[in-house]
Amino acid sequence: MKKLLLALTILFSVNVFASPVNINNADAHTIADSLANIGLKKAQIIVDYRTKNGELKTLDDLNKVSGIGDKTIEKIKVDILFSDAAPPSVEPVTAIPAITK
């Protein structure tokens, strides 16, 4: 039983360590392998949509793809790139020193 649980955990956590995928130049297999809740059929629909309509630039553009809704986008948005540029990094916030009396 423990081995089964371990195998299932590994199987379902593969995407946790995957790097973001460029939705504009990845093929359907890469998209399906990289994004949770996106199978090969939906991935092919994304590829067909961008071939017909041009590059996707925002999550709103992706939302226009048939079969991709708000719930799906919420689950995959951190794993999507729209260009080859690295995702923006977040600058660390410097704490404001406490005022002492």
- Predicted confidence at residue 95, as pLDDT, reads 62
User: What is the rounded distance in angstroms from the CA atom of residue 10 to the CA atom of residue 18?
Assistant: 13
Q: What is the CATH number of domain 18-81?
A: 1.10.150.310
pTM of the model: 0.67
User: What is the rounded distance in angstroms from the CA atom of residue 24 to the CA atom of residue 54?
Assistant: 9
Q: Of 45, 44, 35, whose CA–CA distance to 72 is shortest?
A: 35
Q: Which residue numbers in the chain have pLDDT < 50? A: 14-15, 90
User: What is the rounded distance in angstroms from the CA atom of residue 53 to the CA atom of residue 32?
Assistant: 20
pLDDT tens for each residue of 51-62:
999 999 999 999
Domain ranges, ordered by start, for the chain: 18-81
